[in-house]
Amino acid sequence: MDLFSLQEAEAREGFEPGADTSAMPLAARMRPRALDEVAGQKHLLASGKLLRRAIETDRFTSLIFYGPPGCGKTTLAAVIAQTTNAHFMMLNGVESNVADIREKIAQAQMRMSMHGRKTVLFVDELHRFNKAQQDVLLPHLEKGTVRFIGATTENPYFAINSPLLSRSQVFPLEPVPEEELAALLKRALADEVRGLGAFRVDMEEDALNHLAAKADGDARKALTALEVAVLSTPAGED
C-alpha cells in the first residue's frame, strides 16, 4: 500500500462529499448528509438520545445496526462518518472475503499515519460474514484501527459471533413512519440538485401519500417508486 494506491482506492468509494452522483438512482442521490436529515429513527437520533450524543461528541467505537431493508442502516453509517470527519469505507458480507478486509484495514492504517484521519469501516449484511471473517476484524477493533459499523437484517444476538458482539454496541433501527416518508418524497420533488426538482412535478397529496403507504417503511422503495413514476410520465400528463 502506497500513497498512489490509497488515493486510487479513495476515488472508488463514492461516499465522500463532492463525489459525482449524477448517474446514481434517486435513492442514492438523496442520501442524508447530516443527522437532522435522516428519516425516522427518532428513538436513537432525537436530541439527547445516547447514539446522537455518542456521534456528536465523537465518542463511539464499534456499532451494529439491525433492522429491515430501507430503514437507513447504510445511510446512517455514512452520515456518522461525515459528522465525525472520518473516511467512509464499505464492505458487503456477501461479496467480501478476508483479503478484502485486510486491504481496507491497511488503507485505514495508512490514512491515519499519513493524514491523521480516522476511518469508518462499514460492513453491510454482517450476518453473512463467517467466523474467520469476523475474527479478522477483532484485533483492529481492539486497537481502534477503524471505527467499525456493521449492519444486518437478522437479530445480531443470534447471527453474529459473541466476540464481535462483546466489542460492539447494538442499536435496533425501525421502519420509517409514513409521514416521514411523505416528507422525504416532497423534498426529493423540490430538490433541483440531487432530486427531481428540475422536472417541475406537481403531484397530488393523495398520490404522494399512497407511495409512502405502499413503501412499508422502506425509504429506498419509496424513492425508487417516485423516480419511476416521474421518469415514466410524459411531459404535460397528470
Domains of the chain in sequence order:
3-172 (3.40.50.300), 178-231 (no CATH)
Per-residue confidence (pLDDT) for residue 23, from 0 to 100: 77
Cell numbers linked to 150: 456493521
**Per-residue pLDDT tens over the stretch 143-153:** 989 999 999 99
Share of the chain above pLDDT 70, in %: 89
pLDDT at 178 over 70: yes
- Residue range 42-70: average pLDDT? 93
Per-residue confidence (pLDDT) for residue 4, from 0 to 100: 46
- Residue range 189-195: average pLDDT? 94
**Per-residue pLDDT tens over the stretch 26-52:** 999 999 989 999 999 999 999 999 999
Q: What is the mean pLDDT of the chain?
A: 89
